[in-house]
Structure 1
């Protein structure tokens, strides 16, 4: 059996191994922190109902109105999103990094390379998986009590999503394909410097990328930079990887968290009451939140996010490194040597010809 699996691993292309490693890492990490993710989203989007009663009060309220399943509401969509997202994110990071080294052999191998590769990898992954993130947020946002139970603060609206497919269907029916990218797009006049994208015939902008580009880049930047200072014999130590991943996630999230709050509120706008002010774009939404809700709302749920990010990013990076080792994916140092060797062999062959 061992030889059979070794044969399968050997036959897998490198990018496929990185996809598998990234997907497993993302799925395990996301499931581990799902309850904290649910409370964080409610803090971001239901300020009056949950932020006022605090973290433990929110946990008690969810348990009372929805039971244990309430802590995992939207987690199916979250895992369905994070597996392909993480797979694309890690794989694209490795591919962008190798491509840059191969294309520009004289470029430094320092943290700047990890920041650039991680940023573009994060943007790539977001574009392919954003609708699933939107659905996850909408499912996590709704608080629906059991039939026959009337609990203060639980709002039963006609627009209740019964699951992932139902949420997709209703969102598409009301707003079309553009609605599935709400929070990642905005009007062109809002910011001329944003990246233009074409989704289903609509020209939209990429405010969500404002957050994911620096966050993804900083995450890889801090993680790889910290590991560079770790003795070689300790690089595969699980505890070392957990610590490096925790700090990387903590620092990266701190700098980009307000953009996450803006995105969440844009995502759930259609679920809010009809008299809510329309959130037209990232900059306008940012200003509106700061004016009407206070600048502290831009950091609402950040303390919970710290509790979530520390284990999530730590588990993600650690599982990814373990999976890379199990799937015999070369380390960054080995990859650089391989690229340089191949380039030298190509030059030698050209001279002989």
Structure 2
């Protein structure tokens, strides 16, 4: 008996020495379904990327929706926030943003992988090239938006708020007069629901879907297409992934940014004075036309410069973190089809 126990202890000690305990962890990870791993990888990547660019996201929303901000530019907007709200002001709405981005990014990446595999299995005529990534990315973007849009609405309303200031803000000409209307995510959701029900929680979903379908598709299309031209020995380079992700984000955002402006203005329009006393934008096209007529075509691109600055690290970090999380979670490389995967 003692000899048996001694040999067991000896084998355990040997196991720790040669790393077999790590092998046990690997086996445990490998028992987790692939789609669950993809959800975890996508959610973690989204949260990390979103937090990294939160200050730029706050300024971008203010530039899109408040005339007293887009008239003074990025630098003075940053000074306004720092002076009257402190460093914490740069992260106002980031809690809602992260709470939203975790399920959004998780669903986005996971459904992209699932849609991609489904297209390969059912529409082989499309081949296995980047067109499949375009279609799968678009469908995944739409799915993720529909599931998480109310959280995006709450994030925008929280970020739109400016705390009350007692004195002049910039060169003695501008003052903040509005106190925060919402105390947090739950308060936003409850207030919006009381005002207009479920429909109000999806105010602005039209331009969001119209914008996200091409944006999400182009983002995945460009990223995967650029990666396919990288030599095999550089495929795992972090710098390569960051570069491909940055270009993918910039390209996709340029074509869809005006729709993002319409969406933001629709989300906060009840917080702004309306000369008509009602809903200002009846549809996405009406919103685009109204902004051009009343605010000028430049307003369709308000905040685009800072969005470029934000998109470069955000999309780049997101794609890179996702690829690294896939490796860490031992998610197998993408297969041509389910049949290939099973083989």
Give the TM-score of the pair, scaled to structure 1: 0.86
Residue 323 of structure 2 is aligned to residue 321 of structure 1: yes
Say whether the 8 Å CA contact 2:117–2:338 is kept in structure 1.
Answer: no
Say whether the 8 Å CA contact 1:66–1:145 is kept in structure 2.
Answer: no
Residue 177 of structure 2 is aligned to residue 175 of structure 1: no
Shift of 1:182: 0.3
Distance 1:11 1:255 in 2: 42
What is the correspondence of 1:152-163 to structure 2 with a 5 Å cutoff? 152-157=174-179, 160-163=181-184
- CA offsets 1:276-323 (integer angstroms, 9 cap, x no match): 662221111110001000011000100000000000000000000000
Residue 185 of structure 2 is aligned to residue 164 of structure 1: yes
Distance 1:38 1:249 in 2: 18
Shift of 1:341: 6.0
Shift of 1:149: 6.4
- CA offsets 1:76-127 (integer angstroms, 9 cap, x no match): 0000101100000000000000111122334311111100000000000000
Quote the RMSD (CA, aligned, Å): 1.7
Q: Paired residue for 2:157?
A: 138
User: Structure 2 regions of 5+ residues with no counterpart?
Assistant: 1-20
Shift of 1:338: 5.5
Deviates more, 1:278-287 or 1:246-255: 278-287
Q: Secondary structure at the match of 1:117?
A: helix
Deviates more, 1:265-274 or 1:132-141: 265-274
Shift of 1:155: 2.4
Q: Secondary structure at the match of 2:72?
A: helix
Say whether the 8 Å CA contact 1:115–1:217 is kept in structure 2.
Answer: yes
Say whether the 8 Å CA contact 1:45–1:264 is kept in structure 2.
Answer: yes
Q: Paired residue for 1:67?
A: 86
What is the correspondence of 1:50-65 to structure 2 with a 5 Å cutoff? 50-65=69-84
Distance 2:82 2:130 in 1: 43
Give the TM-score of the pair, scaled to structure 2: 0.88
Q: For residues 337 and 97 of structure 1, do their structure 2 counterparts lie closer, same or farther at Cα, with a shift above 3 Å needed? A: closer
Q: Secondary structure at the match of 1:145?
A: coil
Distance 2:85 2:98 in 1: 20
Distance 1:341 1:19 in 2: 19
Shift of 1:3: 4.3
User: Structure 1 regions of 5+ residues with no counterpart?
Assistant: 185-205, 346-353
Q: For residues 91 and 61 of structure 1, do their structure 2 counterparts lie closer, same or farther at Cα, with a shift above 3 Å needed? A: same
Distance 2:338 2:138 in 1: 24
Q: Paired residue for 1:310?
A: 312
Q: Paired residue for 1:212?
A: 212
What is the correspondence of 1:222-241 to structure 2 with a 5 Å cutoff? 222-241=222-241
Residue 242 of structure 2 is aligned to residue 246 of structure 1: no
Q: Paired residue for 1:7?
A: 27
Distance 2:87 2:320 in 1: 28
Say whether the 8 Å CA contact 1:111–1:221 is kept in structure 2.
Answer: yes
Distance 2:319 2:22 in 1: 26
Greater C-alpha Rg = 2
Shift of 1:53: 1.3
Q: For residues 71 and 4 of structure 1, do their structure 2 counterparts lie closer, same or farther at Cα, with a shift above 3 Å needed? A: farther
Q: Secondary structure at the match of 1:156?
A: coil
Q: Paired residue for 2:103?
A: 84
